[in-house]
């Protein structure tokens, strides 16, 4: 025990150890925060995508990146009918509503999309709406009328007729004022969309949400399915840490126990273990993982199991064996035998603890290897089907040619987190190596 405490004391002298520990604590804090604020089931649900994200822009970059580079890209604005007072008039068998949805637009760039979400309640027949767009300089652009189902989406951006009339895509043309269609410029000011609805029913009601999609979103941006990347970046942390830690523990401890057993019993047990290790060395880990992932399931826990199984008889056995062989002959083991200690007791209590300190640095540097292994599998398209992980974000980005399309944030943010994890553990591991293996400090 004293040796450990001394080791920890000495660790403070290494700046890289302090830096590594700081990064690791930050990641652990992030992981805990994530697990508490976004429960597991909620994270899976969110990452499945779909309707929940309909009011998020597609492929929006992080706000801070844009602001740091001096950009002025718009954020998403949601104008809800719940916040405005509609004018209403009743007629026989129904109601007439006029909902003015006004918003200020002062960004220098055009929004990425404009949609109107309508929700009617208590209407006997399909309601009818007519839309008018009012620009700051007093013009009115009619957007046409249509019947609406109970839940409906009016894609103003995809209104082909309107595009033809404006000579530009609607979400540009509607905000461009009188500027040249070849080089449109934003006309800043207050815009208004009036929704004139005819509802058939005494207490029928209509909710309207106008969404003017921006080009920037949140801290992490969004992906091609409108999902907020923050969910995946946050949830990637506990997943990566858990995978790395469990795989490292699973492989080192089993390997150590097997090496110690082989050394202690010797003879055919040792020979068998040696042969198994040799077979295992020629088994290619990644291709086998690929095979298992394709044939069975890509569940992260199955992958973890396979990694541990193939890691049991890893090349490390040879190293541990070399370290354990002299220990086997040590007098204190002789003493333990003399007082009648059993085989298990000698292996677990006398042999293994003796080389544990040497093992700690290897163990710590092994963690990022497995974190990157998980990411590698995900990049190959064999990531967990449900869990959001850093590797899966990278894989999505790769599939959507994010770099080619200029969505750098999509690649860089998960990559930085991966790098941070790798660096944190590696820095601590290297410092530990110098503390616990004094042979490296000679001279």
Residues 4-33 that bind other proteins (CB under 8 A): 16, 20
Judged by beta carbon, residue 207 or residue 433, the one nearer other proteins is: 433
Least CB distance to other proteins at residue 386 (A) = 19
100 is an interface residue for other proteins by CB under 8 A: no
Q: Which two three-digit tokens encode residue 329? A: 């002959």
Q: Which of 164, 287, 353, 438 binds other proteins (CB under 8 A)?
A: 287
Question: Could you say which DSSP state residue 49 is in?
Answer: -
126 vs 153: CA distance, rounded Å: 14
443 is an interface residue for other proteins by CB under 8 A: yes
Judged by beta carbon, residue 84 or residue 403, the one nearer other proteins is: 403
Least CB distance to other proteins at residue 266 (A) = 17
Torsion of CA 274, 276, 278, 281, to 10 degrees: -130
Judged by beta carbon, residue 59 or residue 135, the one nearer other proteins is: 59
Q: Which two three-digit tokens encode residue 168? A: 């530009």
292 is an interface residue for other proteins by CB under 8 A: yes
Give the CA count within 13 Å in the CB-facing half-sphere of 363: 19
202 vs 207: CA distance, rounded Å: 16
Judged by beta carbon, residue 45 or residue 433, the one nearer other proteins is: 433
**Edge to edge, what strands does the sheet with 151-155 contain?**
77-80, 205-213, 113-121, 151-155
Judged by beta carbon, residue 268 or residue 404, the one nearer other proteins is: 404
Q: Which of 55, 246, 285, 358 binds other proteins (CB under 8 A)?
A: 285
272 is an interface residue for other proteins by CB under 8 A: no
Q: Which of 52, 272, 335, 403 binds other proteins (CB under 8 A)?
A: 403
Measured CA to CA in angstroms, residue 407 lies from 54, 216, 341 at distances of 20, 11, 64
Judged by beta carbon, residue 219 or residue 310, the one nearer other proteins is: 310
Residues 36-75 that bind other proteins (CB under 8 A): none
325 is an interface residue for other proteins by CB under 8 A: no
Least CB distance to other proteins at residue 435 (A) = 14
Least CB distance to other proteins at residue 346 (A) = 28
Q: Which helix (H) or strand (E) holds 64?
A: helix 63-68
Beta bridge pairs of residue 189: 105
Least CB distance to other proteins at residue 419 (A) = 6
Query: What string of DSSP letters covers 66-124?
Result: HHHTT--PPPPEEEEGGGSPPEEEEETTEEEEEEEEEEEE--SS--SEEEEEEEEES-S
Q: Which of 158, 179, 254, 398 binds other proteins (CB under 8 A)?
A: 398
429 is an interface residue for other proteins by CB under 8 A: yes
Q: Which of 296, 301, 322, 335 binds other proteins (CB under 8 A)?
A: 296
Least CB distance to other proteins at residue 409 (A) = 11
Q: Is 130 exposed, middle or buried (0-12, 13-18, 19+ CB in 10 A)?
A: middle
Q: Which of 283, 322, 325, 335 binds other proteins (CB under 8 A)?
A: 283
Q: Which of 68, 279, 339, 353 binds other proteins (CB under 8 A)?
A: 279
Q: What phi, psi does 60 have (nearest 5°)?
A: -90, 140
Judged by beta carbon, residue 149 or residue 271, the one nearer other proteins is: 271
Stretch that binds other proteins, among 137-145, 157-165, 228-236, 289-297 (CB under 8 A): 289-297
Secondary structure string (H, E, C) spanning 369-415: HHHHHHHHHHHHHHCCCCCCCHHHHHHHHHHCCHHHHCCHHHHHHHH
**Edge to edge, what strands does the sheet with 127-134 contain?**
87-91, 94-105, 189-199, 127-134, 140-148
List contacts with other proteins (CB under 8 A). 16, 20, 275, 278-279, 281-288, 290-296, 315, 365, 368-369, 372, 375-376, 379-382, 394, 398, 403-404, 406, 408, 411-412, 415, 418-419, 422-423, 425-427, 429-430, 439-440, 442-443
């Amino acid at each position: 025990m004293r040796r450990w405490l001394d080791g920890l004391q000495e660790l403070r002298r290494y700046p890289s150890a302090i830096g590594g520990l700081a990064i690791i604590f930050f990641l652990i804090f992030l992981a805990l925060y994530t697990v508490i604020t976004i429960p597991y089931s909620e994270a899976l649900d969110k990452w499945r995508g779909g309707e929940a994200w309909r009011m998020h822009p597609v492929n929006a970059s992080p706000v801070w990146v844009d602001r740091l580079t001096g950009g002025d890209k718009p954020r998403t604005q949601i104008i809800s009918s719940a916040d405005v007072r509609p004018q209403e008039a009743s007629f026989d068998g129904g109601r007439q509503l006029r909902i003015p949805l006004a918003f200020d637009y002062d960004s220098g760039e055009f929004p990425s999309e404009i949609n109107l979400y309508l929700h009617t309640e208590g209407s006997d027949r399909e309601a009818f709406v007519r839309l008018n767009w009012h620009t700051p300089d007093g013009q009115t652009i009619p957007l046409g009328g249509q019947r609406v189902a109970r839940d409906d989406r009016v894609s103003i951006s995809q209104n082909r007729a309107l595009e033809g009339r404006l000579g530009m895509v609607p979400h540009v043309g509607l905000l461009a004022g009188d500027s040249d269609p070849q080089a449109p410029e934003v006309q800043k000011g207050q815009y208004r969309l009036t929704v004139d609805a005819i509802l058939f029913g005494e207490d029928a009601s209509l909710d309207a949400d106008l969404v003017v999609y921006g080009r920037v979103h949140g801290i992490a941006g969004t992906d091609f399915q409108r999902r907020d990347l923050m969910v995946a970046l946050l949830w990637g942390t506990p997943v990566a840490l858990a995978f790395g830690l469990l795989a490292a523990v699973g492989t080192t401890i089993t390997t150590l126990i097997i090496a110690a057993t082989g050394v202690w019993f010797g003879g055919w047990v040792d020979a068998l273990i040696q042969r198994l290790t040799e077979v295992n060395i020629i088994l290619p880990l990644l291709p086998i993982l690929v095979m298992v992932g394709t044939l069975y399931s890509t569940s992260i826990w199955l992958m973890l199991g396979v990694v541990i199984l193939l890691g049991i008889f890893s090349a490390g056995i040879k190293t541990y064996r070399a370290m354990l062989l002299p220990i086997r002959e040590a007098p204190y083991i002789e003493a333990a035998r003399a007082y009648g200690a059993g085989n298990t007791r000698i292996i677990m209590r006398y042999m293994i603890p003796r080389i544990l300190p040497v093992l700690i640095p290897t163990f710590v540097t092994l963690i990022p290897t497995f974190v990157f292994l998980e990411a590698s599998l995900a990049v190959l398209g064999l990531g967990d089907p449900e869990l959001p992980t850093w590797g899966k974000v990278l894989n999505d980005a790769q599939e959507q040619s994010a770099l080619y399309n200029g969505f750098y944030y999509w690649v860089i943010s998960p990559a930085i987190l991966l790098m941070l994890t790798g660096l944190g553990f590696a820095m601590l591991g290297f410092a530990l190596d110098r503390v616990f293996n004094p042979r490296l400090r000679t001279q």
